[in-house]
Amino acid sequence: MQRIAAAPARSGPAPLLLPGSRKDHLLVAGMVEPGSRVLDVGCGDGTLLALLRDHRGVDGRGIELSREGVSQSLARGLAVIQGDADTDLADYPDDVFDYVILSQTIQATRQPRLVLEHMLRIGRRAIVSFPNFGHWRVRWELAGRGRMPITDNLPQSWYDTPNIHFCTMRDFVGLCRELGATIEQAHALDAGGHPVRFSLPWWVWNLFGQQGVFLLRRKSG
């Protein structure tokens, strides 16, 4: 049975410890080498990008669909433009960034596979995080109550949610295999945003992880 290791496949920067910051943002930031060129896709209000700028010294850029998010990011002094991940990533040249980040957004894209392909083309590495639809509570809401789930990581009702392509951690690993992407780090996060610190089979992480966070590298050649 395939197992997933909690320890990173390569050595990297030490995790950040900043009280008050989101745990998943700190985990993502800890995957990024200081001074890197970074594109944050779907950057929202710029919280993660500002964290990377202030504590990793990155040369950061952002794309955000909402005008409100762009305005909030610009107010933080960030280089963010309004754009759509589904269409605008195609305009970027190959290898222009060291990391391309998609935090809690892939499930809201219209073409997740194409978006991930572009991320791995324009960046040397990609970091993707998303709510895990395979979590036991989600399964219980569907199987036990027959209703679309509302959880901490999926807070909107079915008629309000921007999420159109729910996926599980197992689904995402399958997509990575299809694209030939190497998973350098993978983490399942609990309800508090803390990584599960054990080496476990995929199905266990898929059952108990509320979020998945992956560091990917595209296939060589």
The one-letter amino acid code at 121 reads: R
| Model pLDDT for residues 77-103, shown as the tens digit of each residue | 999 999 999 999 999 999 999 999 999
What's the pLDDT score for residue 7? 36
| DSSP 8-class letter at 159 | T
What's the pLDDT score for residue 73? 97
| Model pLDDT for residues 15-46, shown as the tens digit of each residue | 566 666 788 899 999 999 999 999 999 999 99
Residues 170, 92, 57, 81, Cα dihedral to 10°: -100
| Cβ partners under 8 Å of residue 62, min gap 6 | 39, 40, 41, 43, 46, 49, 73, 78, 79, 80, 81
pLDDT band at residue 196 using 50, 70 and 90 as cut-offs? confident
Q: What is the share, in percent, of the chain residues with pLDDT greater than 70?
A: 74
What's the pLDDT score for residue 194? 76
Q: Is the pLDDT of residue 172 over 90?
A: yes
What's the pLDDT score for residue 209? 83
Q: Is the pLDDT of residue 14 over 70?
A: no
| Cβ partners under 8 Å of residue 75, min gap 6 | none
Q: Is the pLDDT of residue 53 over 60?
A: yes
pLDDT band at residue 9 using 50, 70 and 90 as cut-offs? very low
What's the pLDDT score for residue 147? 63
What's the pLDDT score for residue 12? 43
